[in-house]
Amino acid sequence: MEYMHAKIVKVLENDDGKERVNILERSDGLFEFRSYVEQTEDEPYASGPYWSPRLHSGLYLSAEEAERDARPQVPWLQSPT
């Protein structure tokens, strides 16, 4: 996955690799996160797996801040209690 406005600085994936969070550094020096889930279409015009967007964050001053804010919003990133 590539972005025109940013580069991926960290990828967090769940255990089966079907969900991920990308931590991005934007070209303006700010950071954001985006979460995706892998889905599969079995239609003749569009078959196969693709990444479907789930969350798109606001802007942060650091990658650590973006990741810290993503954790409570993405269930599989939450620490077990």
- The pLDDT tens digits of the residues spanning 9-27 come to 999 999 999 999 999 999 9
Task: Write down the pLDDT at residue 79.
Answer: 66
Residue 77: band (very low, low, confident or very high) from pLDDT cuts 50, 70, 90 = very high
CA distance 25 to 46: 31
Beta bridge partners of 70: none
| pTM for this prediction | 0.84
pLDDT digits (tens, 9 = 90+) for 36-52: 999 887 777 777 788 89
